[in-house]
A and B are shown apart, each in its own frame.
Chain A
Amino acid sequence: MLKLFGALLVVITGGFIGFGIAEKYRLRPLQLRAIQSSLMMLQTEISYTATPLPEALNRVAARCEFSAKELFAETARGLQKKQGLTASEAWASTLLNWQKKTVLKPGELSILHNLGEVLGTSEREEQIKHLLLAREQLHEEEVKAEKDRSKNETMWKYAGLLISLLIVVIIY
């Protein structure tokens, strides 16, 4: 009886781990896409209406997808606190907290970090160039992430379950 219970536990845990990994593969391209579209919104705010950054970030946060929302809202809050933070400092410290809640890889985060360094520091055309560059790089990452997803998502969904079943069979 105890043995059966143990086996069940192994299968369930294995299944969960597998699903977890699969979920990461599924979310990565989605999050990358969400960030790209929010950066697109930020670019529009900067290029067409030259909205000051705190307000522009708030507007983006209000419209963008949930996964990217906090990055923008939190940076705007940092700037509006009037404690002498520059945009790059506010962005960098927000990024540190935000990255824990995402499935992005270090390479992708460093694209965002680099963007933050120049955010708001130059005139319009240059800001647009920086945003375009960041979006292009993120797009490349997204293509890669999408490939990974199609390769691995389904496999991991079942792999966790199957491996744990195998373990059960061997030990049982």
Chain B
Amino acid sequence: MTTVNFRSQIEMVRKTNGYPTRMEKLKQKANFDVRITASQEVISYLTPRVRRLMETIPAEELVELEEIRMRLGRILLLRIGTKELGVTLDGRLTTRLEEGVEMTTEDLHKTLQIVSQSSIYALEEEFRNGFLTLPGGHRVGLVGQTVLEKGRIKTLKYISGLNFRIGRQVLGAADRIMAYLINPQNRSVYHTLLISPPKAGKTTLLRDIIRQLSNGIPELGFPGVNVGLVDERSEIAGCYAGVSQKEIGLRTDVLDRCPKAKGMIMLLRSMSPQVVATDEIGRREDAEAIEDLLNAGVTVITTVHGVSLVDLRMRPVIRDLITQKIFERFVLLSYARGPGTIEAIIDGRTERPLLGQYVT
């Protein structure tokens, strides 16, 4: 077991960059432990039957566990890294999905009970939103039959699918790029847009940028600033009962589950942030809120789904933000060498790459 642990750690180190330093190795080790704990945390919320199956799988095979999907009448699916695997009745991972265990009403029902601490009545808001957050900042997505009242979603019943998304913090995920995001002359932060396809580590990277800006970065002589975070889907700070479950820095104020545009303005008025961060912009009002922030001299750091600048230029709201040259830095992410691969960092004003290659 130890040899396997060691080997996969080395692999992880190699994946990120050529020759790891001692410090980086230590960080990787810490992250490795965190990843296993995160998987175990989530597994403890499954119905005992599934939990026992999952616990027979060797821990090191679940290091990269990202999703657990339970769908009524269909098989239990685990997403581990880029692979999607089933679990057999004797607790082995399998690529032959027909061998996998099927989820029953009982499995879903009991899991839902455990996840909600047997308090469905306390989760009305969560059912309306279709997800809930667990201690540790992991998320559970829910689908079922929606119950409407006066045209608004009142609640969900007959839950037919649960999706556990394991939230992991990778401390130091933004180490390599922080220097590009800070203006060396006046130590101000550049307006930054992270561009990434799904699952490429966009949220993880944003979280670490927030943490570092908020705590300060001694190596860069950056003192740390007040960061306002609008966390509409509770993914960045992973708030449970209003308290952030992830490390997001000591000068960060979180507005949990707040609509982005409203939240950005609220933070601007109430918390006097130097930096406002939010995830996945794209609506008209988001762009308007960003303009307000610019007028108030506040830096914006945000993310968007996409693979390239060309791709983004086809989308109405984002196109305007790009042509107005609002963002000073674009960070392009991909899945090429595992999640969190940084393809390029581009100067927003000149559109020239500062790091990596970028073909327009």
Residues of chain A touching chain B, judged by Cβ–Cβ distance below 8 Å, are 46, 50-54, 56, 79, 82-88, 90, 119-124, 126-127
User: Do B113 and A50 have beta carbons less than 8 Å apart?
Assistant: no
Q: Is B296 an interface residue (CB 8 A)?
A: no
Which label, helix, strand, loop or mixed, suits the secondary structure of the B interface? helix
Q: Other than A84-B47, A120-B121, give 7 A-B pairs with Cβ distance below 8 A.
A: A51-B122, A54-B119, A56-B119, A79-B118, A84-B46, A120-B118, A122-B120
> Which 7 residue pairs spanning A and B have beta carbons closest together?
A87-B118, A120-B118, A86-B113, A84-B48, A52-B119, A124-B121, A53-B119
CA–CA, A119 and B48, complex, Å = 19
Q: Which residues of A contact B51 (CB under 8 A)?
A: 84
Q: Is B31 an interface residue (CB 8 A)?
A: no
Q: Is B155 an interface residue (CB 8 A)?
A: yes
User: Do B122 and A121 have beta carbons less than 8 Å apart?
Assistant: no
Q: Are A123 and B124 CB-contacts (below 8 A) given A84-B46, A84-B47, A87-B113?
A: yes
User: Do B116 and A84 have beta carbons less than 8 Å apart?
Assistant: no
User: Do A50 and B124 have beta carbons less than 8 Å apart?
Assistant: yes
Residue of A52, A82, A88 touching B122 (CB-CB under 8 A)? A52
Chain B contact residue count (CB 8 A cutoff): 18
User: Do A84 and B117 have beta carbons less than 8 Å apart?
Assistant: no
CA–CA, A120 and B44, complex, Å = 20
Residues of chain B touching chain A, judged by Cβ–Cβ distance below 8 Å, are 44, 46-48, 51, 110, 113-114, 116-122, 124, 127, 155
CB distance from B123 to the nearest CB of A (A): 8
Q: Are A120 and B46 CB-contacts (below 8 A) given A84-B110, A86-B114?
A: no
User: Do A121 and B113 have beta carbons less than 8 Å apart?
Assistant: yes
CB distance from B162 to the nearest CB of A (A): 15
Q: Which residues of B contact A51 (CB under 8 A)?
A: 119, 122
User: Do B44 and A82 have beta carbons less than 8 Å apart?
Assistant: yes
CA–CA, A50 and B116, complex, Å = 12
Q: Which residues of B contact A52 (CB under 8 A)?
A: 116-117, 119, 122
Nearest CB to that of B121 among chain A residues? A124
Can you report 9 residue pairs joining A to B where beta carbons are below 8 Å apart?
A: A52-B122, A54-B118, A84-B44, A86-B113, A120-B113, A120-B116, A120-B117, A120-B120, A124-B121
CB distance from B133 to the nearest CB of A (A): 13
CB distance from B53 to the nearest CB of A (A): 13
Q: Which residues of B contact A53 (CB under 8 A)?
A: 117-119, 122
CA–CA, A50 and B123, complex, Å = 8
Nearest CB to that of A87 among chain B residues? B118
Q: Which residues of A contact B114 (CB under 8 A)?
A: 84-86
CA–CA, A51 and B114, complex, Å = 15
User: Do B110 and A46 have beta carbons less than 8 Å apart?
Assistant: no
User: Do B48 and A83 have beta carbons less than 8 Å apart?
Assistant: yes
Report which residue of B51, B117, B121, B127 has the largest number of chain A beta carbons within 10 angstroms of its beta carbon: B121
User: Do A127 and B121 have beta carbons less than 8 Å apart?
Assistant: yes
CB distance from B283 to the nearest CB of A (A): 31
CA–CA, A138 and B110, complex, Å = 28
User: Do A79 and B117 have beta carbons less than 8 Å apart?
Assistant: yes
CA–CA, A128 and B118, complex, Å = 15
User: Do A124 and B124 have beta carbons less than 8 Å apart?
Assistant: yes
Report which residue of A51, A56, A87 has the largest number of chain B beta carbons within 10 angstroms of its beta carbon: A87
User: Do A121 and B120 have beta carbons less than 8 Å apart?
Assistant: yes
CA–CA, A50 and B113, complex, Å = 15
Nearest CB to that of B117 among chain A residues? A52
CB distance from B347 to the nearest CB of A (A): 50
CA–CA, A119 and B118, complex, Å = 8
